[in-house]
Amino acid sequence: MRPDLLTLLPYRQFGLALLLAVPIARAAVAEEPVPGPWADEFSVAAVPALLRPAVTRRIFAPLGGRYRAVAAPGPVAAGEVLGRFEDAELRATFETANLRLQAARQQEADYLAEAPARRQEAQTRATDLEGRVALAEAVAKDPALLRDLPAAAQAPLLHADPAGLRAQLAAARSRLAQLDAAGPAEVSPARLQVREAEHAVREAEARLRETAVAAPIAGTFEPAAGAGEAVVGPGQELGIVRDASRVFAAVPAFSPYLGRIELERTLLRIVGPGGRAFDAPFREVTIETTPVMGETRVLLFAFSAEASRELANLVQTNVEAHVVLKPTRPVVTVAKLPAALAHPDAFHDGWAAGVPRAWPGWVLVCEGETALGLDRAKR
């Protein structure tokens, strides 16, 4: 073998060893165990959830008096009568108002029938005053005109007031114009009496309608305690109608983990009748006020129409639920307690800082009450 080849042989062997070592190292990295199982969803927190109907309407007494419920607890249609007030007194008021309206309308008819006579009377008065004004003005200019008149006719003309007569004539002409105007009946006393009577009838009719309490929406009716047959005051609650065609879950956002996630990518999971799981996508955040908690941030989740039908019997009850995050890509889930026990020195500065120490090449992407969601660090 040539000497130069003998000299280079160890280096060639070393290079070959490096080439062989690279795949082995890559295989070692690829075979490094994943910290936990991959999952398409991540449990954020266990929460209490109140199942609510889509719409709730409380029924209040529109007036006071003796009330009697006529609808049994259960399904009711919109507009169905739920109960009635004793209405004998109100019916008497309504009948009296109707009689007054009939009398007012008769007076108006009589007034309209007499309209031609009233106009003729007004025309006659205006004509008479025109003559008197003309004569008074003529005498005022030429008193000699009185000599040809009888003594009995002279006295009134001597003391006539042309200005006063002109004022009377203006009033008579105004009255005549008013009678000739379109729709004189609209401003007549008879018309005003009819309007007042019609208003009284409408008011009595409205109060009479209030004696029948109807369901404002279709749903399930639940009478208030003691409102079956009793004397109630105005504004007293008579019952509730709930529309459970769509069921919502209300979750108070007390858990700090609910403020660290993208709520639009969450759903609520509960276990319903028969042990079946029901999921409700996130709907919105509302601020609600309660006597105990004051203003509270509440998350609302909406169940499908099919799920709502199966959960209808659980409306107005609190159930255990889980808020579940649907991440944009799968994550590795690791339980917090075993992780802390296995790596006691890694998490002194928090979970986010401790994940790369416990599992090099991994980062924290989401955190729940009992678990961590990890993904590979970007390179």
User: Minimal CA–CA distance to 265: which of 324, 322, 320?
Assistant: 324
Tokens at residue 170, please?
């203006």
- Tally of domains in the chain: 2
Cα–Cα distances (Å) from 62 to 59, 201, 234, 240, in that order, read 9, 19, 6, 15
Average pLDDT, consecutive stretches of 10 residues, N- to C-terminus, the chain (379 residues): 43 42 44 86 96 91 86 89 79 80 79 73 81 74 67 63 79 78 60 84 78 88 83 90 92 94 96 92 92 88 94 92 96 96 94 95 96 91
One domain for residues 137 and 45: no
- pLDDT for res 194: 83
One domain for residues 166 and 260: no
- pLDDT for res 308: 93
Q: Is residue 69 part of a domain?
A: no
The helix, strand and coil proportions of the chain, stated in percent and rounded to the nearest 5, come to 45, 30, 25
One domain for residues 116 and 194: yes
One domain for residues 175 and 252: no
- pLDDT for res 2: 44
Q: Is residue 75 part of a domain?
A: no
Q: Is residue 345 part of a domain?
A: yes
Indicate yes or no: pTM above 0.95.
no
Residue numbers of the domain that contains 112 = 95-206
